[in-house]
A and B are shown apart, each in its own frame.
Chain A
């Protein structure tokens, strides 16, 4: 079975631009979560979606948004990028209480 897949793997954007990151969960997993991992820190929770509904949101500004599609894949959108948004963005899919993470998207804002 394929694991959690994220695209793209790397991305470079300019301040003020918008970015969309994509995630496909493991087949059968209905929940997708997004985490931001700044260099040298542990991941921080951004969003969780379950059955296409937002079920949790972390302490992130409204510039961050997400959605989940009928096939349970998900997109994370970040508007008006700041230098501080440079990070590794991790997606995790879950079934019951087990989380499986993807390899992440490395976003660099210049």
Chain B
């Protein structure tokens, strides 16, 4: 079974600064996907960024980037130029890749509450 650990329950950052959220995972799989989701008070889970394990290049989406260390099973999220709207719960999630299958279960960490201060 896969497990996802987010060791920082809460973090805060000043507007316009950079912050890094940590995530580690445990799996015996070699092919998988990793995700960061954002959940603002509106409750909807919003995909921030996605990484395929077979890709060595770290994923980037505008101000969001990841540091994927496959051997260390680490997947941290860096948010640059933080904005007030980034305030939310951030969840790291793992999904096993099943070729030709259709069972795509996401395993989530417990989340990190990020507060961006003005």
Contacts and interface: CB of A to CB of B under 8 A. Distances in A.
Interface stretch (A12-20, A64-72, A75-83, A94-102): A94-102
Contact of B111 (A42, A51, A106): A42
A103 B106 contact: no
B43 interface: yes
Contacts of A102: 44
Contacts of A44: 108
B43 A104 contact: yes
A55 B44 contact: no
Give the interface residue-count category, chain A: 20 to 34
Interface residues of B, number: 26
A31 B102 CA distance: 8
A12 to B, nearest CB: 17
B36 to A, nearest CB: 12
Contacts of A42: 4, 91, 93, 108-111
A31 to B, nearest CB: 6
Interface of A: 31, 33, 35, 40-45, 48, 50-51, 55-56, 58, 88, 90, 92, 94, 97-104, 106
Interface of B: 4, 33, 35, 37, 42-47, 50, 91, 93, 95, 97, 101-111
21 contacts: A31-B104, A33-B106, A42-B93, A43-B91, A45-B105, A45-B106, A48-B102, A48-B104, A50-B103, A55-B101, A55-B103, A56-B104, A56-B105, A92-B45, A97-B33, A98-B47, A99-B47, A99-B104, A101-B44, A103-B43, A104-B44
